[in-house]
């Protein structure tokens, strides 16, 4: 009799614990942020970090002090800021974006002679709280772009990125030498741009 009672209590505890974990996972993490519209207006509020919903690089939600949520998409805004990180509306080279005229939000990660943008195009739908929870390697699943001082926007294709980088680095031989390293791969482009901007 006692055995059945303890077993029932154990099973009930497991069910309650599972429900609590699922509820916590479903909650979004909100950060202070703002949106700049195409007309130049700034809308401030809390922006949820959710790899499956908010950070899918074409829609961003902003919640005001009263809890009202307004959705903005790539056609409506120039950029948004989330937790002091900046995302700008840019044109991507990926074919999957054709239905949005290739417009996406790209994460601006470096500013300098070459401003570096990352476009993370593979995501797991759901309320993930981190890259790992979302099934994304923190150093992969991204395309890289740079914007030059003259406004030119350059995409680094995985087929020709080394050739393009060599041309861009030719005036900084110490940075260009990094490309010749056998261990230099696509996901190390940010290191190379950092080298160039620091010189």
Rounded to an integer, the average pLDDT of 92-109 is 70
pLDDT > 70 in the chain, percent: 67
Among 89-93, 97-101, 180-184, the least confident range: 97-101
pLDDT at residue 9 is higher than 60: yes
pLDDT at residue 72 is higher than 80: yes
The answer to the question of residue 192 being in a domain is no
- For 20-31, the pLDDT digits (tens) are 444 444 456 788
Range of the domain at 74: 2-155
What backbone torsions phi and psi does residue 180 show, to the nearest 5 degrees? -75, -15
Sorting pLDDT into bands at 50, 70 and 90, what band is 95? very low
* Single pTM value for the model: 0.73
The answer to the question of residue 177 being in a domain is no
The answer to the question of residue 49 being in a domain is yes
pLDDT at residue 51 is higher than 60: no
Position of tokens 């230099």?
Answer: 184
The answer to the question of residue 125 being in a domain is yes
The answer to the question of residue 33 being in a domain is yes
Sorting pLDDT into bands at 50, 70 and 90, what band is 48? confident
The answer to the question of residue 71 being in a domain is yes
**Number of structural domains, the chain?**
1
- Residue 52: what pLDDT? 43
The answer to the question of residue 185 being in a domain is no
């Amino acid at each position: 009799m006692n055995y059945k009672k303890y077993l029932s209590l154990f099973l009930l505890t497991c069910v309650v614990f599972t429900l609590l974990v699922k509820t916590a996972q479903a909650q979004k993490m909100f950060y202070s942020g703002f949106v700049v519209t195409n007309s130049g207006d700034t809308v401030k509020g809390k922006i949820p970090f959710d790899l499956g919903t908010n950070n899918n690089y074409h829609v961003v939600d902003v919640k005001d002090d009263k809890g009202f949520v307004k959705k903005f998409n790539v056609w409506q805004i120039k950029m948004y800021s989330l937790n002091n990180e900046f995302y700008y509306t840019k044109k991507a080279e990926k074919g999957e974006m054709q239905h949005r005229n290739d417009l996406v939000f790209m994460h601006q990660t470096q500013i300098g002679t070459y401003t570096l943008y990352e476009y993370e195009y593979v995501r797991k739908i759901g309320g993930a709280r981190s890259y790992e929870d979302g099934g994304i390697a923190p150093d992969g699943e991204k395309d890289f772009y740079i914007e030059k001082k003259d406004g030119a926007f350059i995409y680094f294709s995985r087929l020709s990125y080394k050739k393009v980088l060599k041309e861009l680095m030719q005036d900084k031989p110490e940075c260009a030498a990094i490309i010749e390293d056998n261990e230099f791969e696509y996901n190390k482009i940010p290191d190379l741009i950092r080298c160039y901007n620091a010189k």
